[in-house]
Chain A
Amino acid sequence: MDNKTKQPEKIKRKKFFLLFGASVAGVIGFIKSPIKIFSGKGNNSNPSAKKSSIKIEQNPLSVKRESKSGIFNS
C-alpha cells in the first residue's frame, strides 16, 4: 500500500475533547436561551406546558334536539 497518499490531518485527543465539551456547553446554552427559533409561529409554542385559557361549557339551560334533515346529520 502506498503510504505516500496524503491523509487528512488527525485531530489530537486533547483538542477533540475540548471541542466536544464546548459544543455540549453550546447546545445546553442554546436550549436554555430565550430565543426559540424552533417553535412555531403563533401562540402554540410548547402547548403542552400551557394550560388553555378557554373553558367550553355547554349551556345547561339550552334545549337540544335531533336533526330533522336526516337520521344522522353528523
Chain B
Amino acid sequence: MGKSNNKYIDLSSEILKSDEKVNHENEKIGDKDIHYWRSFKELHNDPEFIRAKNLEFDKSSNKPFEPGEFSGFSRRKFLGLLAASASFAAAGCSNYRDKGEIIPYNKKPEEIVEGNPNFFASTINISGEPVNVLIKSREGRPIKVDGNPDSPIYKGKVNAVAQASILSLYDPDRIKNPKINNGSYGLENFEDTDWATVDNQIIKLLNDTNASGKDIVILSGNIYSPTFKKVLTEFNAKYPTAKVYTYNTSGMATKNSAWQKSYGYSKYPVVNYDKAKVILSLESDFLADDVNAIQNARKFARNREIINGDSFNRLYSVEGNVSLTGMNADYRFRLRTDAIEEFVLCLLNEFVNKRRLTNISPDASVASAISGNNLDQFVAKYNLNKDHISNLVEDLTKNQGASFVSGGYVLPESTHIYINLLNEVLGNRGLYQQLYYEESPLPFESNDIQDLINKLNSGSVGVLINFDVNPVYNLPGSMNFKDAMIKAGKVITMTTLDNETSSLSSYVLPINTDFESWGDFRSRVDFYSFQQPVLSPLFNTRQKEGLILNWINGNAQSYNNDIYHNYLKDNWEKNLYPGFFSNVKFIEFFFACLHDGVLPVNFTPVQLNAFTGSAASQITSGMKSSDKPVFLITHSPYLYDGTLANNGWLQEVPHPISRVVWDNYAAISPDTAKTLDVSTNDLIEIASGNNTIKLPVMIQPGMADNVIATELGYGREIGGTVGTDVGVNVNPFISKSNGVTEFLYNNIAITKSSGSYELISTQEHYPIDDPRYKNIQIKRHIIQEGTYNQYKKNPKSVIIKESIEGIPLDEFPSINPSINNPNTEGYRSTNNMYQGPVKWAMAIDMNKCIGCGQCVVSCNVENNIPVVGKEQVGKNREMMWLRIDRYYSGDATNPKANFQPMLCQHCDFAPCENVCPVLATSHSEDGINGMAYNRCVGTRYCSNNCPYKVRRFNYFNFRNSFNDGYQENEYFSLIANPEVTVRSRGVMEKCTFCVQRVMKARQVAIQEGRTVKGNDVITACQEACPTEAIAFGNMNDKEDNIQIYREHPLAYYLLEPIKVKPNVTYIAKLRNTVEELTHTGGDSH
C-alpha cells in the first residue's frame, strides 16, 4: 500500500520498523524541543525497549499459534473425557458464590441507616504525629479515612499513609489474644493466654520490681495526650521506680536542636510557605518528606494559583538526592549534600558582607567567619550555573521578608543554625509561626535513649514496657538496642502486629488500633484533637492506656472496654473543661469535641525570640565536604519508618520519582554508575566504619554525582504476611558516630558486589506517546508547558494548538454539530451530544500537582483495588485505576520533571465502547464511560483500543492469587467498600469517576426535588489531593466551577487529533523561570 492521494493519512507507510531508531534531535515546535522521556532506555532508544513498547500485553501472551503441535485425539475419546470431567467437576464444586444468607437487621441500631454512611471525626497516630481524620463508616464498619475538614492543619486532607491506614484495622495478621513467651525467643515460642493471667502476672511483676528498687521503664513514641500524661503520673505514684523514655522517627533531631539554640524553643515551627514568593530548598523535601508536608503542600500551592487568581512563587532547589520538592522546582541545582553548609556560608557572606542587608547584624565573629566563603568561587568549584545562582541571589535580595530558606532534616545542626541565620538576614522571621505546643516533660520522662540502653546493659531495668513502639527495628543499629533489651528482667510489648521487638519479649499484649481507641492530643497550641473509637474492638484486644490504668488499679478484674473513656471524660470534666469557661454543660461540651474532632483554643501568639547570635558563633566545626561519596538515608514517602510495611497498597503504589514498587534501592547518578561500572539492578556494598549494607542500584536522573540515596521503612524481618523481607533494612547501618548525622555519611566506601536484584518500576508502563506513528507522535503534546513570563505576556501563547497535516484542529468541522447550526463551531465545540442537565467532567491543574500520589492511594481504598504483588507489577498488571505519569525532559543529568495524573478520560467518542462485542462498556447519559463487569467476557479489545491505556484487566482473581488468598481473608474482606463492585478474574476495569458517589448525590438530589449540582460530588482523588489540583463538576452547567478550567487559556486535552473528545481537562504547567524554556543542559534549569 502506498501513500494515498486523498486527505486521509495512510498510516501503514508511516509505521516504523520496531528496530528503527527515532532521532529526536531535530524535533522542534518553533524554538521548543518537545522531546519528553520517561527512562534512560527510552531516551537512548534501546531496541529492546522499543520492541517492548509494541507489546501491550505480556510477552508470553504472544506465543504464535502452531496447529501442528496438537496431538491426535479421536472425537469419541474427547467427548467421553469431556462428559466425565464435567460430571466430576459438578460433583466436586461447591457454590463459591454462596457466602451465606444476608438478613436485614432484626433490631436495627438507631444510628444506622442501611445504605447511608456515617462519619466520625477522630485522630490517628501516623509516624508519631496525631493526624485529624474523618472516618467513613458503613453499617458500623469503617471503610475510608480522609482528613478532618475542621482541622487547622489538615483541612480535610491527609497523606497516603493515613489513607491506607484503615487496612491496619482489618489486618489478618493482627494479634488476637495476649501471648506469653515460654522461655525462648522467637515467635514460635509464644502461647496464647487470657487477659486475667497476664494482668495478674504483670501486676505482681510490677510490684516486685518496684519493691526491689529496679526500674520500670515505659518506652513510647511522642506523648501528646494530656490525659495519658496524667495516667503516667499516677503510674509513677503507684510505682515510684517507673520512668518514661520517648523517641520518634521523624528525624527532626538536628533541626529541632538548632532551633533550640537559635531561638530557645524545642520544636521547629510551622512555616507559612504561602507568604513566600521565593523559596530556597536545601536538601529539603518540605512538600513530601516533612512532618508538616500536607500543610506545606497546601500553602505552597496557594502561590501556584493560575485558575482562581494570579500568584506564582519561585522555587529553587539545591540537593544531592532527587526529591519531590526538587522535581517541582523552577530551578534545580545538583550539589553534593555535604557542600550545602559551605553554600549557605557563601550566601551569608554575599548578603551580610557584600550586599550589607540590614535585617540583622550578626556577631562580628560570625561575619568574620563567613567572609572567607566566596560565592563565585563556590559556583565555579561545583560547576553550578552562574546565571541561575545570580537569579537566586537577586530574588532573595528583592524579596526580603517574603522568601524562605528551608533546610532538610538530614543536615547537621550547624547547617541548620546557619540557615536560621540566613533567614534572619533575609528578614524572613515573619514566616515562622511558633505553634507547636511546648510542654515540659514529666519529671521522670526523658528522650535520652542511650541512657536507657546503658541502664538495660547494667541490669537495672526490671521491666521494660514497649508502648506500641518497635525499637529493635527502628533504632539505629549502632545503639544495639536488641542486645540491651533482652537484658531487662522482663519485656512487655504492646502492639497490634508481631514485630521484631515482640518476638524478643516476655509478654505480647495485643492492643486496639486507633480506630478502636479513645484519646486526646495536644501537639499544637491552637487546638486539641480527640480520638474516638468507630467500632468496638474486633478482637480480644485492649486499649493500651487502659492497660496501664488497670495495672495502677492493681486489680486484674477492673478492666472494661470503657475504662479509659471514663478516665478521659473525668479528666476533662475536672481539669480541662473548667479552663474553657464554657456556657454549655460538660457533657454537651464533650460531645461537641468528639463531634468536631478538634477543639480550638484561644491562645496568645508566641512572639518569636530574637536570634541567639552565639548559636552561630559557637559553631566550632561545621560540615565540610569530603572527597568521598555521600550516602543519604531518607524516609520512604509511603512506608515512612516501616510501621505500615504490611500494607500492600503502600508497598505497591509507585515511588513518586523512580516509580519503583515493593523495594528500596540505592539511587545514583548516571556518571557515578559509569565510574562504579554498575547499572540498574546490580548490587553495591556501602561501608562506613564497621557498618556495611548491600543495596540494588537504581540509576536516577538528577542525582548529584558521588551521592547515593536510599530509604528507610524496608527490610522488615517480622513485618507480617505482606511486609516481611521486602527490600533492605537500612536501620542497622545508621550510626550517629560514623556520619555527619544519622542520615548523612560522607566517608563511605562503595564496592560493586556480585549478583543482581531485579527492581520493578512502572515508569515504562502504558506509554501513550508511541513513536511508531512518526508525524502524529511529534504533535501529540502529552505535556504542554511554558513559563510564567510567557503566560503573562500572552496567555494563549503557551498552548500549542493541535493540527493534522498542518490544518489547525479548530478548523475541522465539529464532530458534534448542533441540529440547528451544523459546522458552525470548531472541534472544541462546547455543544455536545450529552445535552442533559448534567455531564460530568474533570480538570487537573498541572501547576498544583506535585506528584505525591495521594490521589492514587485514595482511589485504591475507595474502589477496592486489589494488590497484585511485585511479580505481577513486573508484567504490567498493576491494577491502579489512576496513575501518575512522570516525564523527564531536558538534560539527562539534571532533567526537569512533569507529573501528569492519568485516568480514564471518559471520552465522548470512546474508542473502547465501539469495540466491545458484548456492550460491557457504554456511555451513560451524564457522560460517564461505565463498565458492566458481569457482561465483560475479557476480550481486552477495549484496552487495546484505548489510546490512554487506562484500562486494567484482571488476569487473575488477585484477591485469591496474591499471597495465597490473603485479600480474601474474612478480616481483610471487611475493608471493601460496599458501594463498589469487587471484580473477579477475566474482567476489565477502570476509573468510573466515582460513579457510586455520583449516584449517591443524584439520589439525594431526587429526594430533595432538584438537579444534582457539580459540587455535590467529590471524587476520591479530588478529596485526597492536598493542593486541590483536581476539580470535578458538571460541564453542562455554565455556573459550575469546572467551566473556569475548561475555558482557561492554559487548558488542553490529550491526544486531541484522534477525536475521541476526552472530558479531562489539563491545565498546562508553567515554570517561573526568567528564561524561556529551552530544555538545554547545564547544571540547573
Contacts and interface: CB of A to CB of B under 8 A. Distances in A.
Given A59-B535, A65-B121, 20 more contacts: A27-B91, A30-B88, A41-B964, A43-B970, A46-B94, A47-B98, A53-B970, A56-B139, A57-B536, A58-B137, A59-B532, A59-B533, A64-B118, A67-B134, A70-B1016, A70-B1017, A71-B1016, A74-B117, A74-B996, A74-B997
A59 B100 contact: no
Contacts of B134: 67, 69
A58 to B, nearest CB: 3
A66 interface: yes
Contacts of A72: 997, 1000-1001, 1004, 1016
A63 B532 contact: yes
A27 B535 contact: no
Given A42-B964, A42-B966, A54-B971, A62 B92 contact: no
A38 B89 CA distance: 8
18 contacts: A27-B91, A30-B92, A31-B92, A38-B89, A42-B966, A43-B970, A44-B965, A45-B94, A52-B970, A58-B111, A58-B535, A62-B534, A63-B591, A64-B137, A65-B119, A68-B150, A73-B1023, A74-B1001
Contacts of A47: 98-100, 970
B90 to A, nearest CB: 9
Interface string B744-763: 00000000000000000000
A8 interface: yes
Given A63-B532, A69-B149, A74-B1000, A42 B960 contact: yes
Contact of A69 (B98, B109, B111, B146): B146
A62 B593 CA distance: 11
Interface in B103-133: 109, 111-112, 117-121
Contacts of B1023: 69, 73
B540 to A, nearest CB: 11
Contacts of A54: 538, 970-971, 974
Nearest to B596: A65
Interface in B931-986: 960-961, 964-966, 968-971, 974, 979
A40 interface: yes
A1 interface: no
B1004 A71 contact: yes
Contact of B965 (A40, A59, A66, A67): A40
Contact of A27 (B87, B532, B538, B1016): B87
Between A42, A66, A71, A73, the greatest number of chain B beta carbons within 10 A of the residue's beta carbon is seen for A73
A38 B90 CA distance: 10
Given A27-B87, A72-B1000, A74-B1000, A65 B120 contact: yes
B355 interface: no
Contacts of B591: 63
B546 to A, nearest CB: 14
Given A52-B970, A54-B974, A70 B96 contact: no
B515 to A, nearest CB: 10
Interface string B523-545: 00000000011111010000000
B94 A63 contact: no
Contact of A73 (B111, B119, B120): B119
Contact of A70 (B92, B111, B1018): B1018
A1 to B, nearest CB: 20
Contacts of B1000: 72, 74
Contact of B969 (A23, A43, A46, A64): A43
B608 interface: no
Nearest to A44: B968
Nearest to B141: A56
Interface in B281-336: none
For this complex, into which size category does the number of interface residues on chain B fall?
35 or more
A74 B144 CA distance: 10
A21 to B, nearest CB: 14
Contacts of B100: 47-48
B141 to A, nearest CB: 5
Contacts of A3: none
A59 B534 contact: yes
A53 B979 CA distance: 23
A50 B536 CA distance: 23
B702 to A, nearest CB: 36
B354 interface: no
A5 interface: no
Contact of A63 (B95, B98, B595, B964): B595
A62 B119 contact: no
Contact of B120 (A8, A31, A63): A63
A18 interface: no
Nearest to A23: B84
A61 interface: yes
Given A52-B970, A56-B974, A69-B1018, A39 B94 contact: yes
A60 B1001 CA distance: 28
Contacts of B1048: none
Contacts of A25: none
A50 to B, nearest CB: 8
B960 A37 contact: no
B208 interface: no
Contacts of B1017: 70
B565 interface: yes
A57 B140 contact: yes
Given A64-B119, A73-B997, A73-B1023, A44 B970 contact: yes
A67 B117 CA distance: 10
Given A8-B76, A42-B969, A56-B140, A74 B979 contact: yes
B1001 A40 contact: no
Interface in B815-830: none
B594 interface: yes
Interface in B129-161: 134, 136-137, 139-141, 146, 149-150, 156
Between B88, B96, B1016, the greatest number of chain A beta carbons within 10 A of the residue's beta carbon is seen for B96
A68 B149 CA distance: 7
A52 B532 CA distance: 26
B438 interface: no
Given A42-B969, A64-B118, A30 B91 contact: yes
B970 A71 contact: no
A4 B536 CA distance: 82
B536 A59 contact: yes
A64 to B, nearest CB: 4
B1016 A61 contact: no
Given A62-B120, A65-B121, A41 B535 contact: no
Nearest to A47: B99
B93 interface: yes
Nearest to B533: A59
